[in-house]
């Protein structure tokens, strides 16, 4: 498992080592150093966030924008991800998750990744964005190209770029349609995006597409991956599962602990200057990886860090990042996870692994499939 491999690296190499993938980069391996890096965009720019690709021909917004410009984008986007708005979607999400799981119950088995984890958050997201649900399969193919094409080098970068161009081309068409037929009552993000302004000026189309692209990547894949690891844990830890079944009110606490123990997003930054950073001799322009997985599972930070303990209490984990770029979708993600765990365990309290799952790495770690079975 990727988490186990990173644990072993962390135990051997603290707080930093040199990773030789692609052109090479630093990799920080403890909570304190990772948090410090994320909180200092003046030292570590997020203009690049893929460690093996130091000069990318793309700019995802807002993640690849540094302060002070960055705050203006957060201001524009905040209302679509506020706690209040997310809460208003909860009943609809329960209904949707219930329907999807109800279909699976009589089957007695499923691939949790393809049949639920990738479907539910994607439908929620397309509704929020105002994208047609019937094109979901195509969206997921593009998503895979961008985030799940592994390795480094020109060929791999070309495939990723191809996926990004397809998504931006798609949004460009959608924006044209909304401009031609504006609906003043529409609440979805794309319908509103055509009116967004920064510093009193309309946002140019390139920046708008770069922002919709980032939302697309963040919205389709992350919750799916996080949910898959959560369910893998619960399928293989019956005592934790039994607690959720017996008392669903602990689900929000369980979600938080599962987020801490299985951080799926591994990010990176580019050094803005020569410096000694926690003993590491950094040169301006160096890339460094800041893996949230190392932060969340750091034994120096949390006792028994690699063990899931629903009674752990508040952990200030970094699974949603830290500093100015902390995840904008964290309320939505938490709610989606809680909704699925609640609706699933109400209907399918007992289940087990039908097959050993396989994983993918990259920027967002995830499972390729998670075959579960239960008594019909
Ligand atoms: C469990 C699911 C999720 C996890 C673990 C997660 C994790 C993260 C992390 C670690 C970052 C910071 C990356 C960095 O600093 O380089 C981030 C940023 C972001 N996330 Fe999430 N995320 C999740 C779900 C979502 C969802 C559903 C959305 C909604 C579309 C979203 C939108 C964003 C955006 C827009 C940013 C960039 C924020 C900025 O640059 O200011 N995320 N996320």
Q: How far is the centre of ligand 1, averaged over its atoms, from the C-alpha of 327 (Å)?
A: 4
Q: Is 352 within 8 Å of 360 (Cβ atoms)?
A: no
Task: Say if residue 152's pLDDT is above 80.
Answer: no
- Cα atoms in the 13 Å half-sphere on the side-chain side of 136: 17
What was the pLDDT predicted at 150?
75
Measured CA to CA, the distance from residue 268 to residue 22 in angstroms comes to: 14
Scanning 48-135, the segments in alpha helix (DSSP H) are: 69-77, 83-88, 90-104, 112, 119-129
Is 265 near ligand 1, meaning CB less than 6 Å away?
yes
The response to whether residue 65 sits with its C-beta less than 6 Å from ligand 1 reads no
Distance 141 CA to ligand 1 centre (A): 20
Percent of the chain residues past pLDDT 90, beyond the cut: 84
Out of 78, 212, 329, mutate this one to test ligand 1's pocket (max ligand atoms within 8 Å of CB): namely 329
Is 292 touching ligand 1 by the criterion CB < 6 Å?
yes
pTM listed for this prediction: 0.95
Cβ 190 vs Cβ 175: under 8 Å: yes
State which of 81, 188, 320 you would mutate to test the pocket of ligand 1, scoring each by most atoms of that ligand within 8 A of its C-beta: 320
Model confidence at 12: pLDDT above 90: yes
From the CA of 326, give the closest atom in ligand 1. Answer: 12
Place of tokens 């105002």: 130
116 exposure class (CB count in 10 Å sphere: 0-12, 13-18, 19+): buried
What whole-number percentage of the chain has pLDDT above 70? 100
pLDDT at 182: 86
Categorize the per-residue pLDDT at 149 as very low, low, confident or very high, splitting at 50, 70 and 90. confident
Quick check: CB of 41 below 6 Å from ligand 1? no
Pairing of strands 287-291, 25-28: parallel
Residue 78: its pLDDT value, please? 96
Confidence (pLDDT) at 310: 97
Q: What is the mean pLDDT of residues 144-164?
A: 84
Conformational region of residue 368, where left means phi above 0, alpha means psi within -120 to 50, and beta covers everything else = alpha
* Contact call for residues 368 and 230 (beta carbons, < 8 A): no
pLDDT, residue 75, reads 95
Centre of ligand 1 to C-alpha 221, Å, is 10
Assess whether the previous peptide bond of 9 is cis (omega < 30° from 0): no
Across all residues in the chain, what is the average pLDDT? Answer: 94
- Spell 143-168 as b/e; 16+ CB within 10 A means b: bbbbbbbeeeeeeebeebbebbebbb
- What is the per-residue pLDDT across 227-255, written as a single tens digit (0 to 9) for each? 999 999 999 999 999 999 999 999 999 99
Residue 157 has pLDDT above 90, yes or no: no
For residue 52, what pLDDT band results from cuts at 50, 70 and 90? confident
pLDDT at 363: 83
Q: How far is the CA of 354 from the centre of ligand 1 (A)?
A: 31
Q: Phi, psi at residue 150, to the nearest 5°?
A: -90, 160
The predicted pLDDT at position 8 comes to: 93
Q: Please work out whether the CB of residue 74 comes within 6 Å of at least one atom of ligand 1.
A: yes
228 lines ligand 1 (CB under 6 A): no
Check: CB of residue 219 under 8 Å from CB of residue 329: yes
- As a whole number, mean pLDDT of residues 171-199 equals 92
User: Which CATH number goes with the domain that contains 21?
Assistant: 1.10.630.10
What are 90's two structure tokens? 């909860």
DSSP bridge pairs for 288: 26, 269
Using CA positions, which residue lies closest to atom 31 of ligand 1? 329
Give yes or no for residue 37 CB within 6 A of ligand 1.
no
Q: State how many domains the chain has.
A: 1
Among the ranges given (64-73, 104-113, 214-223), the one the predictor scored with the smallest mean pLDDT = 214-223
Q: Of 3, 124, 214, 218, which is best to mutate to test ligand 1, by the most ligand atoms within 8 angstroms of its C-beta?
A: 218
In angstroms, rounded to a whole number, what is the distance separating the alpha carbons of residues 44 and 366?
A: 26
Decide: residue 127, CB within 10 A, 0-12 exposed, 13-18 middle, 19+ buried.
middle
Q: Separation of 49 CA from ligand 1 center, angstroms?
A: 13
Residue 185 has pLDDT above 90, yes or no: no
Q: Which pLDDT belongs to residue 362?
A: 82
* CB 63 near ligand 1, within 6 Å: yes
CA of 156 to the centre of ligand 1 (A): 23
Decide the pairing of beta strands 371-373 and 109-111: antiparallel
- Res 1 pLDDT > 80: no
- Give the pLDDT confidence score for residue 259 in this predicted structure: 98
**Count of CB atoms situated within 10 Å of the CB of 175:** 18
pLDDT beyond 90 at 151: no
| Atom number of ligand 1 nearest to Cα 323 | 15
Which parts of the chain fold into alpha helices (H)?
2-12, 31-38, 69-77, 83-88, 90-104, 112, 119-129, 136-147, 154-180, 189-193, 205-236, 238-246, 251-261, 292-296, 330-347
Q: Which of 210, 222, 363 to mutate to test the pocket of ligand 1 (most atoms within 8 A of CB)?
A: 222
Find the domain containing 259 and state its range. Answer: 2-373
| The pLDDT value given to residue 261 | 98
Ligand 1: which of 31, 321, 327, 337 to mutate, judged by most atoms within 8 Å of the beta carbon? 327
What does the buried/exposed string (b/e) look like for 225-236 if buried means 16 or more CB atoms within 10 Å of the residue's CB? bbbbbbbbbbbe
């Amino acid at each position: 498992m990727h988490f186990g491999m990173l644990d072993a690296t962390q135990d051997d190499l603290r707080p930093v080592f040199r990773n030789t993938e692609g052109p090479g980069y630093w990799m920080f391996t403890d909570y304190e150093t990772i948090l410090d890096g994320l909180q200092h965009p003046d030292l570590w720019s997020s203009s690049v966030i893929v460690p093996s690709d130091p000069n990318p021909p793309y700019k995802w917004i807002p993640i690849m924008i540094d302060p002070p410009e960055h705050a203006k984008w957060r201001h524009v986007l905040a209302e679509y991800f506020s706690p209040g708005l997310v809460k208003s979607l909860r009943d609809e999400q329960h209904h949707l998750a219930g329907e999807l799981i109800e279909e699976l119950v009589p089957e007695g088995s499923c691939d949790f990744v393809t049949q639920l984890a990738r479907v539910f958050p994607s439908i929620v997201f397309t509704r929020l964005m105002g994208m047609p649900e019937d094109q979901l399969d195509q969206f997921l193919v593009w998503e895979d190209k961008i985030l799940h094409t592994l390795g480094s080098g020109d060929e791999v970068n070309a495939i990723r770029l191809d996926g990004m161009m397809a998504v931006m081309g798609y949004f460009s068409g959608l924006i044209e349609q909304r401009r031609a037929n504006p609906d003043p009552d529409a609440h979805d993000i794309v319908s509103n995006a055509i009116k967004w302004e920064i510093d009193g000026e309309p946002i140019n189309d390139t920046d708008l597409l770069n922002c919709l692209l980032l939302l697309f990547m963040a919205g389709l894949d992350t919750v799916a991956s996080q949910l898959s690891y959560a369910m893998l844990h619960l399928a293989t830890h019956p005592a934790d599962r039994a607690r959720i079944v017996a008392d669903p009110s602990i689900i929000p606490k369980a979600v938080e602990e599962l987020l801490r123990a299985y951080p799926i997003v591994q990010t990176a930054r580019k050094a803005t200057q020569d410096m000694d950073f926690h003993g590491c001799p950094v040169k301006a322009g160096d890339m460094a990886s800041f893996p949230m997985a190392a932060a969340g599972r750091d034994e120096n930070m949390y006792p028994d860090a690699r063990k899931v303990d629903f009674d752990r209490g508040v952990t200030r984990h970094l699974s949603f990042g830290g500093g100015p770029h902390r995840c904008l979708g964290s309320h939505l993600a938490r709610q989606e996870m809680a909704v699925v765990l609640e609706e699933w365990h109400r209907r399918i309290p007992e289940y087990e692994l039908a097959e050993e799952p396989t994983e993918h790495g990259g920027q967002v770690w995830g499972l390729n499939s998670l075959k579960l079975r239960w008594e019909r």
